[in-house]
Amino acid sequence: MFSKVLVANRGEIAVRILRTLRELGLASVAVCSDVDREALHARLADETVGLGDPRPAASYLDIAKLLDAARRTGAQAIHPGYGFLAENPEFARRVADAGLVFIGPSADALARLGNKTAARRTMRGVGVPIIPGLDAPESDPRRLADAAERLGYPVLVKAAAGGGGKGMRVAASPAELQEAAEAAAGEAASSFGDGAIYLEKYLDRPRHVEFQILADAHGNVVHLFERECSIQRRHQKLVEETPSPALDEELRERMGRAAVAAARAAGYVNAGTVEFLLVGRDFYFLEVNARIQVEHPITELLTGLDLVRCQLEIAAGTPLPFRQEDVGRRGHAIECRVYAEDPQRGFAPSPGRILLARLPAGPGVRCDAGIFTGAEVPVYYDPILAKVAVHAPDRPAAVARLVRALEECVVLGVATPIELLLEVVRSEPFAAGRTHTRFLDEHFPDWRPADSADDPALVGFVLDRLAGGTGATGAAATPDVPDVSSPWRRLGAWGRSA
């Protein structure tokens, strides 16, 4: 095992990785841009190296700066987290060329599977069903238009690199195609340093089901069961759960075999996720996320495994200590993502200072977060703040626990969609497990948050609390136990410029 690891990321995923490093007794190095110098990940690491300019291309996407930070601190390995350079073959190759260990798949595997069009070709070769579409990137407007006509509208314009729902746009007609292609390419270039795009046939109302895989360097490959991630907004997952309400054991077995076959075909090593779209009992390969996923906590809750620890051990050359038949699961787990996004402004990013952060806890509740009261949320990066995950013996109990956890989650100073998440998980269609990728469009098409910004009582409540008062409105209130029926539940981003 390594003695020192550099975490080439920020926010809640950097914090998550750093905590496992601490448990294993491994020294840690964080990197931070100028706006992240006081961020939680920078505070938790044993050493921190500044990257300067906060723009992603000049900081967290600057390979030379990251390698220099590893060299200067004596780090032996680099964990890329997710996003930024996590699925960049050039980064993995240059890490290896520098004599360091990349905690993820090889550069060759990243090229085959991290790139979605290359992955489609690989899947086609081993007989895994794929969605009709292009098997190579395309940027020429005329050829894109011809391909869209062959596939039939609507089509999905997708980034060939990266993941996380970035670089994706739906085009329902020729008139929308060029604008969608330009927007997708621009977002992909900004997020992943690669603006290549391609087309797939857009499937209406499928379920999004993915399988977590682990593969070591000794030929052992297992899956850790599925996660359903169907509830999405703009192709960004909001709610994830495991097991999926849509899968029985026969379908789970078929999809799991396909996921393992995909990893073997690509010579994949380390942790990854094979994603499928499910229509009835038919499933289609979507992509491979060649990294640890945002939603990995629910798999950890279900299986009892620490996936970051598994990643570290695999990267150090250790064989997997279990076979497929040894992987067990218990209960049900659900996760909601909390973003700094303003529902009043079309879910635009909501940067600013966090005036108050109260994160949920208690039995069966896990909250992976990169924030604290007083932290700054920069404008430059993905706006995810935290992931609220719960585990319970069965799905109804998990839903009830998630409602309780979200009710306890209070973030003031930046806007969040917590109110929407609560309405989703309390809804009858969600309780019944009737989820699909257009769930929000179907059940919450005109959703708007309660508008409380001009309520004089709420303004007075906040001013009193910021001045050191209790803010009590009748019932006793304490600094550490939020009253979920109080005005705090409805304040949103009030006062974020304070």
Asked if residue 368 and residue 235 are part of one domain, the reply reads yes
Confidence of residue 475 (pLDDT cuts 50, 70, 90): very low
Of 153, 181, 201, which residue constitutes the final position of a domain? 201
Asked if residue 144 and residue 65 are part of one domain, the reply reads no
Q: Is residue 117 part of a domain?
A: no
Q: Are 213 and 275 contacting, i.e. CB atoms less than 8 angstroms apart?
A: no
Matching residue, tokens 């098997």? 135
The reported pLDDT for the residue numbered 493 is: 54
Say how many domains are in the chain.
4
User: Who has greater pLDDT, 85 or 450?
Assistant: 85
Q: Is residue 118 part of a domain?
A: no
Q: Is residue 211 part of a domain?
A: yes
* Residue 458, pLDDT above cutoff 70: no
The reported pLDDT for the residue numbered 288 is: 87
Asked if residue 316 and residue 241 are part of one domain, the reply reads yes
Asked if residue 365 and residue 223 are part of one domain, the reply reads yes
Compute the distance between CA of residue 433 and CA of residue 424 in angstroms, rounded to an integer: 12
Confidence of residue 7 (pLDDT cuts 50, 70, 90): very high
259-268, 376-385, 395-404: least confidently modelled range: 259-268
* Residue 495, pLDDT above cutoff 70: no
Mean of the per-residue pLDDT values of the chain: 90
The reported pLDDT for the residue numbered 166 is: 82
Continuous segment of H or E residues that includes residue 338: strand 332-339
Asked if residue 154 and residue 240 are part of one domain, the reply reads no
State mean pLDDT over 67-85. Answer: 97
Compute the distance between CA of residue 318 and CA of residue 311 in angstroms, rounded to an integer: 10
Q: What is the CATH number of the domain that holds 403?
A: 3.30.470.20
134-143, 179-188, 456-465: least confidently modelled range: 456-465
Q: What is the CATH number of the domain that holds 162?
A: 3.30.1490.20
Asked if residue 241 and residue 193 are part of one domain, the reply reads no
Q: Is residue 123 part of a domain?
A: no
Q: Is residue 421 part of a domain?
A: yes
Compute the distance between CA of residue 153 and CA of residue 200 in angstroms, rounded to an integer: 10
**What confidence tens digit (pLDDT) does each residue in 236-266 have?**
999 999 999 999 999 999 999 999 999 998 8
The reported pLDDT for the residue numbered 228 is: 98
Q: Is residue 450 part of a domain?
A: no
**What confidence tens digit (pLDDT) does each residue in 44-58 have?**
999 999 999 999 999
Q: What is the CATH number of the domain that holds 16?
A: 3.40.50.20
* Residue 115, pLDDT above cutoff 90: no
Asked if residue 254 and residue 163 are part of one domain, the reply reads no
Residue ranges making up the domain that contains 259: 207-443
Q: Is residue 126 part of a domain?
A: no
Matching residue, tokens 């070591």? 216
Asked if residue 180 and residue 85 are part of one domain, the reply reads no
Confidence of residue 456 (pLDDT cuts 50, 70, 90): very low
Asked if residue 330 and residue 260 are part of one domain, the reply reads yes
Q: Residues of the chain with pLDDT > 90: what percent?
A: 78
The reported pLDDT for the residue numbered 55 is: 97
The reported pLDDT for the residue numbered 472 is: 40
User: Who has greater pLDDT, 397 or 111?
Assistant: 397
What amino acid positions are annotated as catalytic residues?
291
Query: Which DSSP string corresponds to 207-265?
Result: EEEEEEEEE-TTS-EEEEEEEEEEEEETTEEEEEEES-TT--HHHHHHHHHHHHHHHHH
**Beta bridge pairs of residue 7:** 30, 79
Q: Is residue 119 part of a domain?
A: no
Confidence of residue 468 (pLDDT cuts 50, 70, 90): low
The reported pLDDT for the residue numbered 467 is: 54
* Residue 454, pLDDT above cutoff 50: no
Asked if residue 191 and residue 212 are part of one domain, the reply reads no
Asked if residue 93 and residue 136 are part of one domain, the reply reads no
**What confidence tens digit (pLDDT) does each residue in 117-136 have?**
888 888 988 999 999 999 88
3-state DSSP percent of the chain in helix, strand and coil, to 5: 35, 25, 40
Asked if residue 218 and residue 193 are part of one domain, the reply reads no
